[in-house]
Amino acid sequence: MDEIDTGTVSSAINALQAQGYSVRRTPGPQQREQSFAFVLHQPGMPRALVGPARSTVFAAWASAQEHAEQAEGAPATANPGPFFAAELPAAALDVSIIASRFGVDIATAERQVQQLRQQSVFLSATHQVNVQLIKAPFGQDLGDVAWLSIKRRDREVIRDWRDLQAIKNAIVGPEHEGFELYPAESRLVDTANQFHLFVFMDRRVRMPVGFVDREVTGTAEAMAVGARQREPREGA
């Protein structure tokens, strides 16, 4: 086995720290003995991004290096991942702060905090996804549904279907079906550039509408039939 160049490792860690990375024991209820994860916090980020749990500090730094390289090399049209589990800041769960910020009473703020505590949060370099499980809303035969609340971290609009499909694949799975809801105007909620997908947790569930067979084409195939299309993303 080749010896590790400690000088190179130290330089790499220093470079990662300059980008806002650090390593700490895995936070939250899933904390295990000898479990570590990288944490990324940069100016302008609403909350820290927490990487996957690793068994050693060195492995956590290696995971940080991989994340930094992926973020640096990702083109603008790339998938909006990878995603890592994150934690909500304490202020997001503070009833008094929420009541003051949104101008609601304490009881309403307490309900909002209770809902937030039921959610898992995932961050990538470009997107945040809050996930809440809905218990069998269509009956036991179809099972539970994951409610994905999705926003860009720069708060801009999302309107590329491919982004939403990639997020669904990354958070729940590529063979799980989901849907967007276009509600009756009487119950419309439109207050932010935040988008919602509802995804069946049972990968066997299929919607009784939509295309049956897969067909994905690129620019040349579309032009041949008088249509316009982008090239498929890598892995699509």
Q: Is 120 helix (H, G, I), strand (E, B) or coil?
A: strand
Backbone angles phi, psi at 69, to 5 degrees: -65, -40
Whose structure tokens read 């202020």?
A: 91
Q: What is the pLDDT of residues 7-25, one digit of tens each?
A: 778 888 999 999 899 998 8
What per-residue confidence (pLDDT) applies to 88? Answer: 77
Q: Is 202 helix (H, G, I), strand (E, B) or coil?
A: coil
Please check whether residue 109 is in contact with residue 96, taking contact to mean a CB–CB distance below 8 angstroms.
Answer: yes
Q: How far apart are CA 200 and CA 175, in angstroms?
A: 10
Instruction: Give the mean pLDDT per block of 10 residues along the chain (236 residues).
Output: 63 90 68 68 71 80 80 58 82 87 89 88 90 96 96 88 93 95 94 94 94 88 83 74
What per-residue confidence (pLDDT) applies to 1? Answer: 42
What per-residue confidence (pLDDT) applies to 27? Answer: 52
How far CA 158 is from CA of 126, 128, 164, 194, in Å, comes to 11, 12, 8, 8
Whose structure tokens read 């300059």?
A: 18
Please check whether residue 205 is in contact with residue 145, taking contact to mean a CB–CB distance below 8 angstroms.
Answer: no
**Both tokens of residue 105?**
């009473």
Q: Is 126 helix (H, G, I), strand (E, B) or coil?
A: coil
Q: How far apart are CA 140 and CA 180, in angstroms?
A: 21
Q: How far apart are CA 61 and CA 38, in angstroms?
A: 6
Question: Dihedral sign, CA of 236, 66, 50, 101?
Answer: negative
